[in-house]
């Protein structure tokens, strides 16, 4: 019970699970999942995490999540805004639907923005805390067959800058991690396409990222190694963000 407390959204699979496995070494965990109870139960068995079903886009679920964390642990040291989704169907932006746009903005942008608002007010009572947003290279990379996803991640990147500025004087540090092409369920349908592009030079570091690569970046933040770098953007992307001729 003396361990620091981390809340990780979308932790049952993919990047969130990788982060949870890493932080379980040092933190008490509250981990959210949306639909896959089996994956969440597996995470609990492996890490001892408290698992909570929550839709981060729901104000009621966000309030219930923080109320549980406060009642169970009494404090919150680290929030990892990881939960997010890709469009259910990739569509050219000239044909994409408002329904898809609304769903992605609600889950990927509005949800983490307002969860952070509530968590930040709690951390302000404590006088310290760290907040991590997992965004994407799609925050600045245009993919016209998933414009809704790109827009949601670009908005989330601005949310990081805003919170980093607002919370710095309160002792709360805020960071953005921008994953590149990471081997998860989200890209399983197009993994072979990405592998071919990487082999042909898409990334300076000629390999696809793993969830452990993101988890290591979160580890550095959690351990306080970047505490004088609030607002920093960590590109964990194999060098994708580099420009060269």
pLDDT tens profile 86-132: 999 999 999 999 999 999 999 999 999 999 999 999 999 999 999 99
For residue 180, what are the CA distances in angstroms to 18, 156, 210, 243?
Answer: 15, 16, 10, 15
pLDDT at 184 over 70: yes
Sequential DSSP letters for 169-210: GGTEEEEEEEE-SB-SGGGGGGHHHHHHHHHTTSSSS-S-B-
pLDDT at 24 over 70: yes
Q: What angle do CA 88, 91, 93 make, to 5 degrees?
A: 125
In the annotation, is 149 catalytic?
yes
What is the average pLDDT across 211-236? 98
Question: So where are the chain's domains?
Answer: 5-236
Q: 240 φ, ψ to 5°?
A: -55, -35
Distance from C-alpha of 125 to C-alpha of 193, rounded to nearest angstrom: 48
Distance from C-alpha of 184 to C-alpha of 59, rounded to nearest angstrom: 27
3-state secondary structure 54-83: CCCCCHHHHHHHHHHHHHHHCCCCEEEECC
Distance from C-alpha of 110 to C-alpha of 172, rounded to nearest angstrom: 20
Share of the chain above pLDDT 70, in %: 100
Distance from C-alpha of 39 to C-alpha of 164, rounded to nearest angstrom: 32
Q: What angle do CA 213, 214, 220 make, to 5 degrees?
A: 95
**Lowest-pLDDT choice from 58-67, 180-189, 205-214:** 180-189
Query: What is the maximum span of the chain, computed from C-alpha positions, in angstroms?
Result: 55
For residue 189, what are the CA distances in angstroms to 106, 157, 201, 237?
Answer: 24, 26, 21, 20
- How much is the pLDDT for 1? 62
* Pair 86, 149: CB distance under 8 Å: yes
* Pair 43, 23: CB distance under 8 Å: no
Tell me, which fold does domain 5-236 have in CATH?
A: Rossmann fold (3.40.50)
What is the average pLDDT across 186-200? 89
User: Per-residue confidence at 196, pLDDT binned at 50, 70, 90?
Assistant: very high
pLDDT at 225 over 80: yes
User: Per-residue confidence at 239, pLDDT binned at 50, 70, 90?
Assistant: very high
Distance from C-alpha of 109 to C-alpha of 92, rounded to nearest angstrom: 21
**What would you report as the CA-atom Rg of the chain, rounded to the nearest whole angstrom?**
17
Which residue of the set 33, 149, 163, 228 is catalytic?
A: 149
What is the average pLDDT across 193-199? 93
Query: Under DSSP, is residue 238 helix (H, G, I), strand (E, B) or coil?
Result: coil
Distance from C-alpha of 123 to C-alpha of 145, rounded to nearest angstrom: 39
* Pair 223, 215: CB distance under 8 Å: no
pLDDT at 245 over 90: no
């Amino acid at each position: 019970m003396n361990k620091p407390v981390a809340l990780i959204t979308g932790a049952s699979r993919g990047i969130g699970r990788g982060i949870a496995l890493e932080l379980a070494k040092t933190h008490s965990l509250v981990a959210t999942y949306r639909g896959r109870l089996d994956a969440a139960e597996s995470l609990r068995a492996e890490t001892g995490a408290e698992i909570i079903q929550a839709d981060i886009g729901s104000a009621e679920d966000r309030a219930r999540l923080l109320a549980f964390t406060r009642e169970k642990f009494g404090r919150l040291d680290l929030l990892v805004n990881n939960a997010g989704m890709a469009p259910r169907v990739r569509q050219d932006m000239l044909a994409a639907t408002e329904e898809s746009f609304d769903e992605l903005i609600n889950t990927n942008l509005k949800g983490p923005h307002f969860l952070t608002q509530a968590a930040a007010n709690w951390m302000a009572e404590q006088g310290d805390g760290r907040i991590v947003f997992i965004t994407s290279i799609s925050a600045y990379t245009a993919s016209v067959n998933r414009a809704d996803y790109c827009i949601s991640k670009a908005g989330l990147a601005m949310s990081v800058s805003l919170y980093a500025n607002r919370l710095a004087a309160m002792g709360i540090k805020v960071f953005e991690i921008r994953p590149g092409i990471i081997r998860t369920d989200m890209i399983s349908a197009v993994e072979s396409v990405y592998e071919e592009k990487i082999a042909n030079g898409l990334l300076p570091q000629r390999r696809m990222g793993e969830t452990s690569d993101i988890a290591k970046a979160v580890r550095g933040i959690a351990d306080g190694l970047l505490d004088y770098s609030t607002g920093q953007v960590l590109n964990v992307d194999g060098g994708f963000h580099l420009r060269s001729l």
